[in-house]
Amino acid sequence: MAQQSKNWSCDFLADPDQVRKHDEVTLTVTLSNTEFDKSDETDKETVYTKGFTYKYETTNLLLQNAINNAPKNDTRQFSFEVPDLSGGDYEICVTVTAKENWNGLGDPLDDLTPPTDATGKPAILRQDTTISVTRLIQTESKVTLQRTFAGPTKDRALWTAIRNRTAAIGFDRYKKFINCVFCDTPEQDPFNDTRKQISKYVNDACLGSAEPTDQKQRISIFGPYAYSVLKLATQVFLTLESGVVIRSNSGEKPEIFNLEKERIRLNDFSLELRDLKKELGAYLGSAEQLPYLDRILTNLITLDDEEPKSVLPYCFGVLQFRLTSPSLIELIWSYWLEEGMLVQTMNAIALRFQNRRGSQNAP
């Protein structure tokens, strides 16, 4: 073994070498000998574990205390928790010393002699490693998100109009309209005078005798055509609320325009309703219709090959409002209604009211 001492080497590693407070660091010492490791007859792990002492030293007292108190089932490899150290590099040194007498330590040390240096003393190996401690600086800060700047576009008022018209045909406003048309005692009955006029000429005798226990018989405009009347009233409601326009709130009806929300959406806090109306008029142009509808119109031609020309495919403007006053609806709103199967449900109910089949399998 004396001849082998000059061939001993020691590796010392810390993993990881970049650490923070309370991180776990593993120290590993690896011994090797170019001659001794070639032997297949010796239990090298037992030699490295029992035949040497391992001493770990550092100049920092906190770090030294953490290393000393770390559990060491194997003195060649163990872990410790990094204490609360200041940021910087810390050097750790290991001293590996061969025990003077290996006899009595058990196989295979009983048959070997400890390694010595050139003077015959037990071999001593020293190696060091460095860990770098990073301190976390804890601060309290507030984060504010701001919209990415986007300049105004020519069509920005159109999106306000779409939202405005979508709100205008909302169910709350539709319900209020239908109640006003059909209810016996609406909040504001525009047909009250008409009913009084009719009652002068149509009395109970015209309607047939009523039972003594019944209340006074009322005139009904519903009858077997109730669905058709409701459908007509709905068409009137949509026609009145159609168009590429921006209208403000009116009376006690549900809100259809919120200037503050539009200012936030468009990132323009000086915006006024009159500005949006002016921008919308400039976008529509003199034709007062949507540019893409105008493009479709100008590309429609007659079937006369001799004199093809652009024509308005409506009889003297009778249905022209379909072009100049389309029913706007916000697409994302329509998308979720479609996802909820609302359109299909309404179609099924409509067909049931009319006693019509939607398909051969319909009940």
Q: Which residue in this structure is represented by tokens 């999106």?
A: 159
235 and 108 assigned to the same domain: no
Tokens of 29: 């010492």
- End of a domain among 78, 101, 133? 133
DSSP one-letter code for 13: E
In a domain, 15, yes or no: yes
Asked if the structure places residue 263 within a domain, the reply is yes
C-beta of residue 347 within 8 angstroms of C-beta of residue 357: no
Q: Which of 235, 248, 231 is nearest to 168 (CA)?
A: 248
SS3 88: strand
Contact between 48 and 29 under an 8 Å Cβ cutoff? The reply is no
Sign, CA torsion 322/325/327/329: positive
Strands 18-19 and 77-81 come out as: unpaired
- Percentage, residues of the chain above pLDDT 70: 72
pLDDT tens track for 222-261: 667 788 888 998 999 998 898 899 999 887 788 999 999 9
> Confidence class of residue 318 from pLDDT cuts 50, 70 and 90?
very low
Same domain, 94 and 185: no
- Show the DSSP H helices in the chain as ranges: 44-50, 61-68, 156-168, 171-182, 192-199, 204-207, 226-241, 259-266, 273-284, 291-298, 321-324, 331-339, 342-353
User: Are 169 and 281 part of one and the same domain?
Assistant: yes
68 part of a folded domain: yes
What b/e sequence results for 310-325 when a residue is b if at least 16 CB atoms lie within 10 Å of its CB, and e otherwise? eeeeeeeeeeeeebbb
Domain count, the chain: 2
Q: What is the dihedral of CA 163, 164, 170, 176, to 10 degrees?
A: 170
Residue of 185 and 28 predicted with greater confidence: 28
Domain CATH number, residue 53: 2.60.40.10
Mean pLDDT of 346-360: 86
Look at residues 131, 96, 127, 95 and name the one whose alpha carbon lies nearest to residue 15: 131
Statement to judge: residues 28 and 107 lie in one domain = yes
Shared domain for 227 and 282, answered yes or no, is yes
Which strands sit side by side in the sheet containing 8-15, from one edge to the other? 8-15, 24-33, 77-81
Answer whether residue 358 is part of any domain: no
Q: Is residue 142 part of a domain?
A: no
**Whole-angstrom Cα distance, residue 92 to residue 126?**
11
Tell me if 78 is assigned to some domain.
Answer: yes
Backbone angles phi, psi at 124, to 5 degrees: -125, 125
What pLDDT is stored for residue 185 in this prediction? Answer: 57
Residues 111 and 226 in one domain: no
**206 by DSSP, 3-state: which?**
helix
Cα separation of 298 and 292, whole Å?
Answer: 10
User: For 94-108, 231-245, 338-352, which range has the lowest pLDDT when averaged over its residues?
Assistant: 94-108
Is the pLDDT reported for residue 362 higher than 70?
yes
What residues contact residue 312 under an 8 Å CB cut-off, 6+ apart? 297, 320
Whether residue 240 lies inside any domain: the answer is yes
What residue numbers bound the domain in which 187 lies?
156-209+220-329
The size of the chain, in residues, is 363
> Does 189 share its domain with 99?
no
Are residues 166 and 109 part of one domain?
no
- Angle of helix 273-284 relative to helix 156-168, nearest 10 degrees? 110
Please check whether residues 123 and 194 belong to one and the same domain: no
89 DSSP assignment: E
Q: Residue 76: pLDDT above 60?
A: yes
The predicted structure's pLDDT at residue 302 = 46
| Domain end among 133, 166, 184 | 133
User: CA angle, 316 as apex, 164 and 162 as ends, to 5°?
Assistant: 10
Same domain, 115 and 204: no
Pair (319, 283) in one structural domain: yes
Q: Evaluate if residue 5 carries a pLDDT over 50.
A: no
The string of pLDDT tens digits covering residues 154-183 is 899 999 999 999 999 999 999 988 888 877
Whether residues 25 and 82 fall in one domain: yes
Measured over the CA atoms of residue 150, residue 155, residue 156 and residue 159, the dihedral's sign is negative
- The answer to the question of residue 280 being in a domain is yes
